[in-house]
């Protein structure tokens, strides 16, 4: 398929173009898979290069690919019959997801077959977007790109890795711009920074399977944190004999919290103080496995238990119990997620949790050095909200003339207070590469319709590498594009590059580029014939594992300073914009299966809701289904109330995902978007949006509504449907493992 044109380039720049920066030795030992994966009960898993297999009547054929529903990078097998992809399952060979998927992964087919895709390029003419040909669209775009200089060009994407990241970097280089912003609302940016600073490794491997007790400060690892499917597979091992114990501290019960042995809400934003209090008590009792410097010791001593109880609202007895569990049930693992990180001193809170890890000896036991993919150019450019804020600052300073958005919808996710829409109005030319008519596309001057992930090529290197050896996962089309006028992301990028750099002309298309890249991977074992058969095998297997660039953890425990708790008279409550496994950051609101799937905790469907503790609801005089207005200094939203005890009384929790003003029939004009009313507060250290720091007040709106949710009764009403057994009995009968 690849048509090589004769442009003379030297080997080094050739390799660089393909994303190989010369880590040949590090990659040595990469073996191309040589066997066809034959899964029991599945018809043969074949590669794309047998296109006739698409159409064997009545026979389903499985192709390997990669899930792009979030950035965890799970491997897929897609069942294709008569040229259509029907069903997705996990790729059993992937060390990330071991053949499993989450609900969003299952619903990938409904993103692909979505009735509200953008099917043709659209150019704004006289104020409205009008269908145009690709020729017209690209000539307009190339003209605009030709006229913009250096940093006045910006590109905004989600998390991007693999060869797509190589092409993004190449385009930025061609344009002479350093303004690539990677934006994800649901991210682990603060955790990464803390890991890097305190352990010398930004993404250490977490051994849930080894832990006997996990203390999680709001890390929803079963739902929305780092790599949910992988974590759930590890959780299964953690819960098997000898069964580990899970303690979850968070202001609003997440899916992970729903599975905890002990669930407690600390006063929002005081998770750091709680961690320090536990650390102090552990050391006081001499339970620590690692000694800390006198400096750290002195700082910790400030957190005596009565004081910590006063700050956090967690009783001394509970704090003591948690502290003793961490030492009794070693090895322990302490995690910290969005609700700990989402404050001005979020970094410090997460660092406090990490300090606890160090003290109880988790580092080296349940926290291991990561096994990173050894090619820097292919590593994930992980999205953050700090990048979104930087982008917004740039807009405010009128720093950009042309902005290219790809697979991201910041006009929906950005808080109103960042002034994104206003800033964008001043940008001369805005381009949205997207599959859907989302809010960002609606403001663009040019919309380029992308192929769906199930129609496109790509390679992906997950940021969280789960197994012993890091993998690069291949994304191959599972069918021909449904709409003839869409183009793959790589193809569009390659086209833009060809217009600027002749060297890229040797690749007929992104497919040819990828194939060349993979077969020219330096260090690919010589015994592999770098030919079609090898390529074919790679596509059958769906991934390639490399020898890791294995790091070492080096502990740097430093003192941590968390802020005290401030009460607010005007805004007495905290807004928790909770993340859902399902609608995610709102990107899946256009998928009917996911709208109809009841939220795991609230069980509400097709709408937004505000979770309130019964005590708070009583004070406000509201019942289930009543409409309330949630107002911050930056704006207000209205939604229906759902009352339950799994939320701190000082909190109103509104899930992200709804409140779209565009995005197709299933998403548009449904519910409210809590991200819009967040105050522009940031974590001091990382610049991340402090998602949980916004204070709000709540008032009743005189409108009634019926809360539509699954399940008539909130409890079992004494019926023994879900029976429980004590862990003691479990240990007695099912052993210590």
Partner 1 sequence: MSFKNILENFSKYRRGAEEGGHHEYEHRWGMAIDLNLCIGCNACSTACYAENNLAVVGKDKFEKGQAMHWMRIERYWDDADAGRDFPEQGALFLPMLCQQCGAATCEPVCPVAATYHTPDGLNAQVYNRCIGSRYCNNNCPFRVRYFNFWSYYESSWPEPLNMQLNPDLSVRDKGVMEKCTFCVQRIRTAKDKAQRENRAIVDGEFQTACAQACPTGAIVFGDTMDPNSRVTKLWQEHEVERGPYTSKKPKQNAELRGYRIFEELNVDPSIMYLERVRETEV
Q: Which among partner 1, ligand SF4, none contacts residue 67 (Cβ within 5 to 8 A by kind)?
A: ligand SF4
Nearest residue to 234 (alpha-carbon basis) of 257, 264, 214, 263? 214
* Residues numbered 59-88 forming contacts with ligand SF4, rule: CB under 6 A: 67, 69-70, 72-74
* Contact window for partner 1 (CB under 8 A) among 261-269, 286-294, 298-306, 411-419: 261-269
Using CB under 6 A, which residues numbered 486 to 505 contact ligand SF4?
none
- 89 vs 271, which CB is nearer to ligand SF4? 89
Q: How far is the CB of 473 from partner 1 (least distance, A)?
A: 17
Residue 124 pairs in a beta bridge with 129
Torsion of CA 333, 339, 342, 347, to 10 degrees: -20
Contacting partner 1 (CB under 8 A), which of 53, 71, 89, 439? 89
Which residues does 239 contact at the CB level (< 8 Å), separation at least 6? none
Is 56 near partner 1 (CB under 8 A)?
A: no
Q: Contact letters (x/-) for partner 1, 663-702, by CB under 8 A? A: --x-------------------------------------
* 355 binding ligand SF4? (CB under 6 A): no
Backbone angles phi, psi at 479, to 5 degrees: -170, 170
Cis link prior to 518 (omega < 30° from 0)? Answer: no
Q: Which of 78, 105, 342, 586 binds ligand SF4 (CB under 6 A)?
A: 105
Q: Which residue is nearest to ligand SF4 (CB)?
A: 105
Q: How far apart are CA 393 and CA 430, in angstroms?
A: 17
Site for ligand SF4 in 203-262 (CB under 6 A): 228-229
Distance from the Cα of residue 188 to its chain's centroid: 8
**Does residue number 84 form part of the binding site for partner 1 (CB under 8 A)?**
yes
| Shortest Å, Cβ 648 to partner 1 | 8
Cβ pair 224, 485 in contact under 8 A: no
- Minimum gap (Å) between residue 394 Cβ and partner 1: 38
Name the strand (E) or helix (H) holding 423.
helix 420-425
97 belongs to the binding site for ligand SF4 (CB under 6 A): yes
Task: Name the CA dihedral angle for 366, 369, 372, 376, rounded to a multiple of 10 degrees.
Answer: 140
By CB under 8 A, is residue 103 in contact with partner 1? yes
Task: Report in angstroms how near the CB of residue 212 gets to ligand SF4 at its nearest.
Answer: 21
Contact stretch for ligand SF4 (CB under 6 A) within 97-105, 143-151, 306-314, 437-445: 97-105
Can you tell me which of 307, 500, 603, 685 binds partner 1, judged by CB under 8 A?
Answer: 603
Q: Which of 27, 63, 100, 122 binds partner 1 (CB under 8 A)?
A: 100
* Contacts of partner 1 in 115-144 (CB under 8 A): 115
Interface size with partner 1, residues (CB under 8 A)? 98
Which has the closest alpha carbon to 480: 451, 510, 455? 455
The stretch near ligand SF4 (CB under 6 A) out of 98-106, 276-284, 377-385, 664-672 is 98-106
CB of 90 to ligand SF4, least distance (A): 7
One character per residue 63-82, x = contact with partner 1 (rule: CB under 8 A): ------------------xx
The alpha-carbon radius of gyration of the chain (Å, integer) is 26
Q: What are phi and psi of 32, to 5 degrees?
A: -70, 140
**21, 24, 242, 258: which one contacts partner 1 (CB under 8 A)?**
258
Three-state DSSP state, 468: coil
Q: How far is the CB of 561 from partner 1 (least distance, A)?
A: 29
67 vs 427, which CB is nearer to ligand SF4?
A: 67
DSSP H/E element including 489 = helix 489-498
Q: Is 101 in the site for partner 1 (CB under 8 A)?
A: yes
Question: What token pair was written down for 83?
Answer: 């040229």
Binding of residue 653 to ligand SF4 (CB under 6 A): no
> How far is CA 48 from its chain centroid?
28
Is the distance from CB of 649 to CB of 575 less than 8 angstroms?
no
The item of ligand SF4, partner 1, none sharing an interface with residue 593, based on CB under 5 to 8 Å by kind, is partner 1
> Measured from the CB of residue 59, what is the shortest distance to ligand SF4 in angstroms?
21
Residue choice 205, 210, 239, 390 for contact with partner 1 (CB under 8 A): 239
Please report how close the Cβ of residue 88 comes to ligand SF4 at its closest, in angstroms: 8
∠ CA(729), CA(250), CA(231), 5° rounding?
65
444 vs 643 by CB, closer to partner 1: 643
Please tell me the distance from the alpha carbon of residue 654 to that of residue 586, in angstroms, as a whole number. 13
Q: Which of 221, 229, 209, 253 is nearest to 336 (CA)?
A: 221
Selected binder of partner 1 within 8, 11, 35, 41 (CB under 8 A): 41
Binding segment (CB under 8 A) for partner 1, from list 137-145, 484-492, 550-558, 721-729:
721-729
Q: Whose Cβ is closer to partner 1: residue 114's or residue 408's?
A: 114
3-state secondary structure (DSSP) of residue 718: coil
CB of 222 to ligand SF4, least distance (A): 9
Per CB under 6 A, which of residues 113..172 are in contact with ligand SF4? Answer: none
What are the C-alpha distances in Å from 179 to residues 162, 415, 661? 19, 21, 28
Own/partner long-range contacts of 287-294 (Cβ < 8 Å, ≥24 apart): 287/323, 287/324, 287/326, 287/327, 287/360, 288/359, 288/360, 288/361, 289/330, 289/359, 289/360, 289/361, 290/358, 290/359, 290/360, 290/361, 290/363, 290/555, 290/557, 292/355, 292/358, 292/359, 292/557, 293/557
Nearest by Cα to 76 from 565, 452, 356, 442 = 452
CA–CA distance, 282 with 305 (Å, rounded to integer): 11
CB of 715 to ligand SF4, least distance (A): 19
Instruction: Indicate whether 592 belongs to the interface with partner 1 (CB under 8 A).
Output: yes
Task: Decide whether 70 or 698 has the Cβ nearer to ligand SF4.
Answer: 70
Q: 702 or 717: whose CB is closer to partner 1?
A: 717
Binding site for ligand SF4 (CB under 6 A): 67, 69-70, 72-74, 97, 101-102, 104-105, 228-229
């Amino acid at each position: 398929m690849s048509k090589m044109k004769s442009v003379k380039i030297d080997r080094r720049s050739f390799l660089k173009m393909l994303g190989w920066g010369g880590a040949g030795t590090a990659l040595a030992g990469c073996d191309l898979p040589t066997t066809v994966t034959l899964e029991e009960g599945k018809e043969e898993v074949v590669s794309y290069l047998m296109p006739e297999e698409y159409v064997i009547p009545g026979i389903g054929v499985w192709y390997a690919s990669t899930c792009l529903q979030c950035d965890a990078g799970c491997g897929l097998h897609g069942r294709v019959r008569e040229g259509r992809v029907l069903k997705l399952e996990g790729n059993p060979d992937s060390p990330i997801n071991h053949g499993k998927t989450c609900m969003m992964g299952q619903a990938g087919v409904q993103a692909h077959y979505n009735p509200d895709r953008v099917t043709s390029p659209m150019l704004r003419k006289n104020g409205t977007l009008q269908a145009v040909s690709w020729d017209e669209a690209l000539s307009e775009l190339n003209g605009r790109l030709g006229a913009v200089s250096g940093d006045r060009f910006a590109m905004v994407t989600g998390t991007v890795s693999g060869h797509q990241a190589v092409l993004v970097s190449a385009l930025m280089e061609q344009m002479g711009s350093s303004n690539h912003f990677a934006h994800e609302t649901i991210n682990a940016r603060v955790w990464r920074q803390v890991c890097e600073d305190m352990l010398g490794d930004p993404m250490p491997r977490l051994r849930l399977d080894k832990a006997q007790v996990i203390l999680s400060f709001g890390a929803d690892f079963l739902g929305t944190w780092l790599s949910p499917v992988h974590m759930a597979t590890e959780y299964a091992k953690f819960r098997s004999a000898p069964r580990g114990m899970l303690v979850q501290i968070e202001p609003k019960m997440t899916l992970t919290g729903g599975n905890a042995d002990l669930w407690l809400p600390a006063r929002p934003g005081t998770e750091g103080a709680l961690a320090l209090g536990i650390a102090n008590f552990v050391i006081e009792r001499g339970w620590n496995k690692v000694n800390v410097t006198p400096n750290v010791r002195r700082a910790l001593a400030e957190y005596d238990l009565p004081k910590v109880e006063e700050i956090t609202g967690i009783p001394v007895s509970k704090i003591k119990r948690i502290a003793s569990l961490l030492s009794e049930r070693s090895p322990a693992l302490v995690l910290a997620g969005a609700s700990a990180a989402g404050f001005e001193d979020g970094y410090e809170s997460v660092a406090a949790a990490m300090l606890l890890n160090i003290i109880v000896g988790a580092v080296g036991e349940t926290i291991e050095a990561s096994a990173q993919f050894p090619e820097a150019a292919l590593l994930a450019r992980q999205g953050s909200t700090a990048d979104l804020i930087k982008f917004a600052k740039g807009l405010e300073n009128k720093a950009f003339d042309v902005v290219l958005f790809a697979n991201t919808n910041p006009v929906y996710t950005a808080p109103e207070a960042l002034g994104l829409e206003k800033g964008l109005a001043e940008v001369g030319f805005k381009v949205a590469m997207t599959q859907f008519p989302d809010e960002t596309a609606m403001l663009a001057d040019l919309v380029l319709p992308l192929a769906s992930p199930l129609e496109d090529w790509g390679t992906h290197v997950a940021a969280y590498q789960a197994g012993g050896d890091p993998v690069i996962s291949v994304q191959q089309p599972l069918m021909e594009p449904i709409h003839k006028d869409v183009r793959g992301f790589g193809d569009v990028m390659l086209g833009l590059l060809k217009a600027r750099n002749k060297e890229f002309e040797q690749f007929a298309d992104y497919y040819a580029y990828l194939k060349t890249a993979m077969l020219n991977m330096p260090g690919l074992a010589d015994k592999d014939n770098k030919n079609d058969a090898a390529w074919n095998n790679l596509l059958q297997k769906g991934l390639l594992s490399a020898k890791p660039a294995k790091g070492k953890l080096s502990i740097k425990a430093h003192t941590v300073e968390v802020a005290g708790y401030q009460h607010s008279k005007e805004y007495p409550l905290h807004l928790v914009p909770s993340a859902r496994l399902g609608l995610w950051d709102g990107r899946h609101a256009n998928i009917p299966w996911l709208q109809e799937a009841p939220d795991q905790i609230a069980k509400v469907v097709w709408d937004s809701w505000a979770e309130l503790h019964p005590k708070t609801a009583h004070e406000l005089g509201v019942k289930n289904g009543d409409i309330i207005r949630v107002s911050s200094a930056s704006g207000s939203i209205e939604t229906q109330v759902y009352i339950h005890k799994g939320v701190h009384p000082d909190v109103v929790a509104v899930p992200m995902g709804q409140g779209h003003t565009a995005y197709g029939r299933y998403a548009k004009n449904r519910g409210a978007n809590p991200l819009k009313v967040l105050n522009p507060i940031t974590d001091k250290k990382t610049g991340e949006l402090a998602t949980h720091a916004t204070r709000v007040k709540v008032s009743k709106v005189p409108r009634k509504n019926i809360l539509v949710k699954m399940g008539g009764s909130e409890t079992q009403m004494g019926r023994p449907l879900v029976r429980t057994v004590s862990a003691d009995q479990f240990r007695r009968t099912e052993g210590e493992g």
